[in-house]
C-alpha cells in the first residue's frame, strides 16, 4: 500500500500539516515512501501518521533513524532505558514511585526540541501510546518559517547577526520555569515542582546504583538559521528554552524575546493537534515550535519521543 498524504488545510482548515495513512511499521519505508515522507515534511512541517499497527520500540527507532542519527535524550533526564533513543514522556511511576518518564502532567511552554544542545533536534517524532480519557491535552505547533517570513525587513536586519542562549538547566534545578506564563514560578511558585522532584528522585536513584548520566547541556545558536533540508530561513528562538540574547542588556533582551514569542505564536500561525491513541506525529522541529497543555494528573498519558540531530553553523 502506498502512502496517502492529505493536507490538513483540506481536511480540517488548518494553517499547515498533513495526515498520512498507509504506513506499515513492520515493513518499513521503501525508498519511494521515504522520499514521499521527506517531501511531505518539507511542504507541510507536521505529519500525522494514523491508522497503522502500533510499532515496537525497534520499529519506531528504525523508522526515525531513516531520517538521521538519533539523540539519546533519555540519558540527560536520568532515565534507565534499554533504548535511550526513546524519551518516555509520561506521568507514570515505577514500583518505587520514581517517574518512568519526564514532564509529569504540567503544561510545557513553546519550544524546539533539543535547542539547548550543540547538535540540535532536526526532525522529531511523538507517538501517543496512551492518552487521558477525559479532556486529553492538545499539542500545538507554530511555523517558524512563517514567523520569519512575516518579520519586517528592518527586524530581519537587526536579528541576523544576533545569537541566543538556550538552556533548561535552571528549570530542572528549580530556579525558574519555562517562560513567563500563568503556570510559571513567576506567577505560581509551585509550577514545575513535579518535574523537579521527579528529576531529583532519578538523580538520587542513579547515585545509589552507581549509574552515571551526562549533565544536561546548554548552547548558543544564531537567532536566524537556514534549514539544511529546505534551504529556507527560520526564526530560532522560543519562549520555553531561549533565555537571553547574547550581549544584549537584560531588559532589552527580555522585551525582544517577548515580542518574537508573540509574533511566532499568533493564532493564525498555530495548529493544535487532537490526539488519538496510536497517532505518530513527525514534525520539522527546526521549522516549528510546539507546546503542550496540562491535564488531570490522575489521568494516565504516555508518549514516545525521538529526535534526529543536526549541527548548526557557529
**pLDDT tens readout for residues 29-87:** 999 999 999 999 999 999 999 999 999 999 999 999 999 999 998 888 877 888 999 99
User: Is the separation of the CB atoms in 257 and 242 below 8 Å?
Assistant: yes
Grid cell in block for residue 152: 519586517
Note the pTM of the prediction, 2 decimals. 0.91
- Domain extent, residue 99, equals 4-310
| pLDDT, block means (10 residues), the chain with 314 residues | 89 91 93 96 98 96 97 84 90 72 83 96 97 95 98 98 92 46 37 69 80 87 97 97 97 98 96 97 98 93 96 86
Domain count, the chain: 1
CATH code of the domain containing 15:
3.60.130.10
The reported pLDDT for the residue numbered 102 is 77
**pLDDT tens readout for residues 262-291:** 999 999 999 999 999 999 999 999 999 999
DSSP labels, 130-168: E--SSSPPPEEEEEHHHHHHTS-HHHHHHHTT-EEEE--
Amino acid at each position: 500500500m502506498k502512502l496517502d498524504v492529505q493536507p490538513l488545510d483540506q481536511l480540517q482548515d488548518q494553517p499547515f500539516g498533513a495526515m498520512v495513512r498507509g504506513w506499515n511499521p513492520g515493513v518499513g519505508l521503501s525508498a519511494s515512501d521515504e522520499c514521499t515522507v521527506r517531501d511531505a515534511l518539507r511542504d507541510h512541517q507536521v505529519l500525522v501518521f494514523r491508522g497503522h499497527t502500533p510499532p515496537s520500540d525497534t520499529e519506531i527507532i528504525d523508522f526515525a533513524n531513516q531520517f538521521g542519527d538519533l539523540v539519546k535524550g533519555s540519558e540527560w533526564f536520568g532515565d534507565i532505558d534499554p533504548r535511550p533513543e526513546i524519551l518516555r514522556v509520561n506521568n507514570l511511576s515505577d514500583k518505587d514511585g520514581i517517574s518512568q518518564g519526564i514532564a509529569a502532567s504540567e503544561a510545557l511552554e513553546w519550544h524546539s526540541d533539543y535547542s539547548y544542545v550543540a547538535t540540535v533536534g532536526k526532525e522529531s517524532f511523538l507517538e501517543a501510546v496512551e492518552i487521558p480519557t477525559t479532556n486529553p491535552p492538545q499539542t500545538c505547533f507554530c511555523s517558524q518559517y512563517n514567523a520569519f517570513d512575516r518579520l519586517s525587513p528592518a527586524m530581519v536586519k537587526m536579528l541576523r547577526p544576533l545569537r541566543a542562549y538556550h538552556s533548561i538547566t535552571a528549570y530542572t534545578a528549580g530556579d525558574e520555569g519555562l517562560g513567563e506564563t500563568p503556570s510559571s514560578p513567576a506567577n505560581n511558585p509551585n509550577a514545575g515542582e513535579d518535574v523537579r522532584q521527579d528529576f531529583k528522585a532519578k538523580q538520587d536513584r542513579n547515585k545509589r546504583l552507581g549509574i552515571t548520566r551526562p549533565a544536561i547541556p546548554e548552547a548558543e545558536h544564531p537567532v536566524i538559521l537556514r534549514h539544511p533540508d529546505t534551504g529556507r530561513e527560520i526564526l530560532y528562538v522560543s519562549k520555553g528554552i531561549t533565555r537571553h540574547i547574547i550581549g544584549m542588556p537584560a531588559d532589552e533582551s527580555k522585551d525582544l524575546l517577548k515580542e518574537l514569542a508573540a509574533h511566532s505564536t499568533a493564532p493564525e500561525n498555530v495548529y493544535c493537534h487532537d490526539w488519538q491513541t496510536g497517532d505518530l506525529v513527525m514534525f520539522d522541529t527546526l521549522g516549528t515550535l510546539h507546546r503542550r497543555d496540562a491535564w488531570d494528573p490522575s489521568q494516565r498519558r504516555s508518549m514516545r519521543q525521538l529526535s534526529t540531530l543536526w549541527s548548526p553553523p557557529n
